[in-house]
Structure 1
Amino acid sequence: YSYDQHTLLTTAAPTQVTALAAARGGGFFVVTGNIGKLFRLGPGMEKEGAYESEPLDAGSFSDWGRLSWTGSAHGGTVSMETRSGNLDRPQQNWSPWARTAARIESPAARFLQYRLTLTAAADGRSPELRAVESAYQPRNIAPVISIIEGTPFNYRFPPQSLTLTPSTSITLPPIGGKRTTPTVSVGTSQTMQFAKGYVGARWQASDDNGDALGYKVEIRGVNEREWKLLKDDLDDRQYSWDSTAFPDGEYLLRVTATDAPDNPKGKELTSQLVSDPILVDNTPPEISTVAVARKGNQLEVRWTAADALTPIERAEYSVNGGEWTLAPPTTTVSDSLQHDYVLLIPGAPGEQVVTVRVSDRNQNTKTRDGRVGP
């Protein structure tokens, strides 16, 4: 047979051709080694010959369709056989050769090999084949969701159609990578935009068939049993929502991926993954009575702040409506659900009103004031 610019005339069991010599009347004598033999190669055509293809890699487990060839039999015959397996080279665990008139009879697998046997006509003319085609359909493989990550509280993913106005935004690190603090910037970032009370998640999903995927997001409290629908028919691998309609506490998200957009109804496959707990906290810290007392020409200000779910991040005070000043806790570092504060600040004659403002890490803020007389 001929393939591209190469023509195969014949094959023999020995692995080496060591010499060629012209024969009387035409043709050649062929001397081989390993095993040593002598062949005569003449100008005549064999009555029958066979061709075995290289294994076809369908890329994944596949169902086979029709096997067809293009060319002319010239009065001869062309018979077709196939075999299949899941290793890239034919081995014992491949199926046996199976004859086929058109539709491939070999079992579904990833790899397919065909063998053509060409038999010449009575007048000696041989069939000519120009092309061989095999139809196959990869089996559908369910999509995979590999990771779900919660996103920073009080930020949302903007709708794709929304033109953002300059505002505080954050750029998230790559999903699944080393956890770092998101970069905060002011501008028109297309990542996440500040939105009080919003919480979100993003996830990684893949499909070995390359199908387009759709997503459904459900939610339930960690102590609840039933899932509640948050959003269906999502194309994006991210979602954020207003959490102020939910009681404070920890919640789980369940993301379902489906390859329905690229598969017939009834043939679609799905997969699910449940997130780690995501905290919803929209309640500000509680502030005890702000006690203000004179200590000579200074004011001593005392209070306690406590939050049920989120550590205290920042405390400030203002005197008589003046500028806010940072107030450190007695432990110096703000890292706990409860902190005590004791300040000595400059005093002045007359009534003094001291207002304190405390925020937790979710930027829930509360104020309370205390006063002292002249």
Structure 2
Amino acid sequence: MTAFSIYAHASGNGVLLGTSDKGRVYNVTNDGRETLVLQTDANQISTIRSDGKSLIATSSNPGSMFRFGSDQSGEGSYDSAVLDSKGSSTWGRIWWRSSGNVTIQTRSGNTEKPDETWSGWSTAQTDAKGGQIASPKARFIQWRAVLKSAASLSEVSMAFVARNIAPEILSINVLPTNVGLAANPPVQIDPNIEIAGMDPVSFGIANPPVPPRRLFQRGATSLQWAAEDRNGDKLVYDVFYKEIGDAAFKQLRDGITENFLAIDGQTLADGRYIFKIVARDTPSNPLTMALAGEKLTEPVDIDNTAPVITTVGTPQISGDKARVTFDATDAASYLTRAEYSINGGEWKTVYADDGISDGPKERYTIEIPTPTAGEYAVTLRVYDVNANSGNARQIVRKY
């Protein structure tokens, strides 16, 4: 609340404050209690004055004049702010705390600001203990209180159930092969809070999702996904898969509470697969009302087969050098890099004979120094795109 104008009561007990927030006038007593006494359609209350009988407030944007005062009029009304239920809702009961003669009406609609598409004001309810809201199902609702004589109203409550909206999988991220995922320890919460069914945020405990940690896991195919539920429902996930060409998906996991899964790729045969993530809001809804949303991945290559390396011919020795040749073949994907070692020494990079390792079959020719007579063990190691590796050895004998 930002005060734009002020008027001191002649009695000395507090002031009236005109605000620049929705053109309101508040009565503020010396002990700090606030009471809304005037609400207008203007942007701000510019001045508050007395003419000896009543109070007059002037506003700007637009310019208007409002007369009010301490004398009790026969009747007054107050329109609440519009409540957004975030979806088409079924309205329950409305009840309130008041003194004196107070009645409540409601209206509803599907636009943020009431217009001609909204329902009319309902029949007034007179029992503060509450009654069924008569306004039709909609996303937005507003109530109006009519107060007579010296009546006052301190609180209004209403119940509603928003129409369940299916959850949505926003995105799926397929991590590189051999990158596994593991859950990090969650934030520790007093179990009594959970038993009571209370929100930890009420106790100042932030409980954001903790992302998983990444680790090396041979053959792993890891999926991470982001999901949204517009009702704020708790979600669980099911994961399905099928090889391209299969007719139906097969269930891989069900009832996952995390938004990730590390799949042991070695449990699947080499091939191209599609994974399906299904999000369900069953933890927050009866089975007959629960909904689900799903999303598919792009095709994912599963390749657990290492390249096959074979020697070609016999080593060619010329002076202090020898040349050895290998062929490398990968049945499930393509080759990406190669390296060789002499007599168990350090690995050194070698390029394919055509200049780049990028196909399912490549030839590698390696030239090594042979300064003295003896045996030289040349080992070639080749990797495919999924980090599978195969190797072969060729013995060079110089006499």
Give TM-score scaled by structure 2 length.
Answer: 0.71
Q: CA deviation at 1:133?
A: 1.9
**Which residue of structure 2 aligns with residue 278 of structure 1?**
300
Distance in 2 (CA, whole Å) between partners of 1:59 and 1:105 is: 19
Give the whole-Å Cα distance in 2 for the aligned partners of 1:31 and 1:267: 52
Which residue of 2 is the match for residue 84 of structure 1?
108
Contact between 1:79 and 1:99, CA under 8 Å: does it hold in 2? no
In the TM superposition, 1:1-374 aligns within 5 A as 5=34, 8=37, 21=51, 27=53, 45-73=72-100, 77-101=101-125, 102-119=131-148, 126-160=150-184, 191-297=213-319, 298-347=321-370, 348-350=372-374, 352-371=376-395, 374=399
1:95 positional shift:
1.0
Shift of 1:206: 1.4
Instruction: Report the CA distance shift for 1:21/1:152 in structure 2 as closer, same or farther (over 3 A).
Output: closer
Residue pair 1:61, 1:138 contacting (<8 A) in 2 also: yes
Q: Distance in 1 between matches of 2:349 and 2:302?
A: 26
Q: What is the rounded CA distance, in whole Å, between the counterparts of 2:357 and 2:109 in structure 1?
A: 64
Using a 3 Å threshold, how does the CA distance of structure 1 residues 8 and 156 change in structure 2: closer, same or farther?
closer
Q: 1:41 to 1:240 in 2, by over 3 A?
A: closer
**Is this contact kept in 2: 1:82–1:97, CA < 8 A?**
yes
Distance 1:10 1:196, change over 3 A: closer
Code of the residue aligned with 1:370 in structure 2: it is Q
Deviates more, 1:298-307 or 1:286-295: 286-295
Secondary structure in structure 1 of the residue aligned to 2:182: coil
Q: Quick one: which amino acid aligns to residue 117 of structure 2?
A: N
Structure 1 letter corresponding to 2:369 = P
- Unaligned stretches of 5+ residues in structure 1: 33-37, 121-125, 162-188
1:291–1:370: 8 Å Cα contact kept in structure 2? no
The AA in structure 1 aligned to 2:139 is R
1:166 corresponding residue in structure 2: none
Answer whether contact 1:219 1:229 (CA < 8 A) is retained: yes
- Deviation of residue 211 (structure 1)? 2.0
User: By how many angstroms is 1:257 displaced?
Assistant: 0.6
Is contact 1:218-1:231 (8 Å) kept?
A: yes
Contact 2:48 2:55 survives alignment (8 Å) = no
Matches of 2:97 and 2:225 in 1, distance apart? 48
Deviation of 1:281 (Å):
0.3
> What displacement does 1:94 show?
0.8
Which SS does the other structure have where 1:267 is aligned?
A: coil
Structure 1 residues 190 and 240: CA distance shift in structure 2, 3 A:
closer
Q: Tell whether the 8 Å contact from 1:292 to 1:354 is kept in structure 2 after alignment.
A: no
In the superposition, the TM-score normalised over structure 1's length comes to 0.76
For 2:220 and 2:283, how far apart are their aligned partners in 1?
29
Q: 1:300 to 1:87 in 2, by over 3 A?
A: same
Aligned residues: 331
CA shift digits 1:111-133 (9 cap, x unpaired):
2112233445xxxxx43322222
Report the secondary structure of 1:244's partner residue. helix
Range moving further from structure 2, 206-215 or 40-49: 40-49
Q: CA deviation at 1:238?
A: 0.8
Query: In 2, are the aligned partners of 1:286 and 1:305 still within 8 Å (CA)?
Result: yes
One-letter code aligned to 1:61: S
Percent identity over the alignment is: 34
* Alignment deviations for residues 254-289 of structure 1 (CA, whole Å, 9 cap, x no partner): 001112222233222210001101110011112243
- Residue 372 and residue 216 in structure 1: after superposition, are their counterparts in 2 closer, same or farther (change >3 A)? same
Q: Secondary structure at the match of 1:98?
A: coil
> What letter is aligned with 1:112?
I
Contact 2:86–2:231 (8 Å) recurs in 1: no
> Following TM superposition, by how much is the alpha carbon of 1:227 offset from its aligned partner in structure 2, in angstroms?
1.1
Q: Distance in 2 between matches of 1:29 and 1:313?
A: 85
Structure 1 residue 248 displacement after superposition: 0.5
Q: 1:291 to 1:20 in 2, by over 3 A?
A: same
Question: 2: distance between equivalents of 1:40 and 1:228?
Answer: 73
**SS of residue in 1 equivalent to 2:132:** coil
Cα shift readout 1:196-230 (whole Å, capped 9, x = no counterpart): 11111111111122222111111110111111111
Check conservation: 1:291, 1:371, Cα contact below 8 A. Answer: no
Matched residue type, 1:250: R
